Chain A
Amino acid sequence: ETGVTQTPRHLVMGMTNKKSLKCEQHLGHNAMYWYKQSAKKPLELMFVYNFKEQTENNSVPSRFSPECPNSSHLFLHLHTLQPEDSALYLCASSPYGQFATNEKLFFGSGTQLSVL
């Protein structure tokens, strides 16, 4: 158990649905991240919140919308997704902030998303 909790674990949604992924950490970490993991591909960084401020948006389509209401919670709001968005979505946190050299990531178990 890493201390990072993601819900739901599995999600099936239609292309017209709206859903949200939730991530929670009570580790006192200062940075939180959303990653996309597709089979046999490298992890893709989507968004970073560093001390509650969004610092990265790696050309992610607007159908993905992040929200960080406080330092412990991170959401990923989804709407009008495409089948190619089906993947494992991982949340991570790190203790000292995004720009610390020895900054290891603590990952949740992910949400397996299927878009029909």
Chain B
Amino acid sequence: EDQVTQSPEALRLQEGESSSLNCSYTVSGLRGLFWYRQDPGKGPEFLFTLYSAGEEKEKERLKATLTKKESFLHITAPKPEDSATYLCAGMLDSNYQLIWGAGTKLIIKP
């Protein structure tokens, strides 16, 4: 069964404390791995797409990486405005459908 699992469910960090969010996937064929950010009361907002193992993408304090089994979202020296729920999704090679994880709620305390 195609599945995407995110961990931890919630993560509390002090401002400036770097960490990583994990997205592990077991899918029959991965076309791409997507990361989205969701603020309270809003819909998810696209961050990155990764297509092959070893690929990395960066945006401000965020860097996403991909291996053959998982993706990491590294956050360096986070600020309170980085607080949000981060969602990952794997796009299936067979039908382009997205399999979503349940998200990681990130809280950055000042």
Task: State how many angstroms separate the Cβ of B45 from the closest Cβ of chain A.
Answer: 7
Task: State how many angstroms separate the Cβ of B15 from the closest Cβ of chain A.
Answer: 26
Residues of A within 8 A of B43 (CB): 2, 4, 90, 92, 107-110
Say whether A47 faces chain B, with CB atoms less than 8 Å apart.
no
Residues of B within 8 A of A108 (CB): 43
Number of interface residues of A (CB under 8 A): 23
Would you call B44 and A105 a contact (CB within 8 A)? yes
Q: Which of A43, A56, A104, A110 contacts B100 (CB 8 A)?
A: A43
Residues of A within 8 A of B99 (CB): 42
The main secondary structure of chain B at its interface with chain A is: strand
The main secondary structure of chain A at its interface with chain B is: loop
Say whether B87 faces chain A, with CB atoms less than 8 Å apart.
yes
Residues of B within 8 A of A109 (CB): 41-43
Task: State how many angstroms separate the Cβ of A11 from the closest Cβ of chain B.
Answer: 15
Say whether A68 faces chain B, with CB atoms less than 8 Å apart.
no
Number of interface residues of B (CB under 8 A): 24
Would you call B44 and A107 a contact (CB within 8 A)? yes
Residues of A within 8 A of B46 (CB): 104-106
Contact A99-B100, Cβ < 8 Å, known A104-B34, A107-B45, A108-B43:
no
Residues of A within 8 A of B87 (CB): 43
Task: State how many angstroms separate the Cβ of B30 from the closest Cβ of chain A.
Answer: 11
Contact A41-B102, Cβ < 8 Å, known A98-B96, A101-B31, A103-B96:
yes
- Give 8 closest A-B pairs by Cβ, nearest first: A107-B43, A42-B100, A104-B46, A43-B100, A99-B96, A42-B102, A109-B42, A107-B44
Residues of B within 8 A of A (CB): 4, 9, 31-32, 34, 36, 41-46, 49, 87, 89, 91, 96-103
Known interface pairs A102-B32, A103-B96; 6 further A-B residue pairs with C-beta atoms within 8 A, sorted by A's residue number: A41-B102, A42-B99, A43-B100, A90-B43, A100-B96, A109-B43
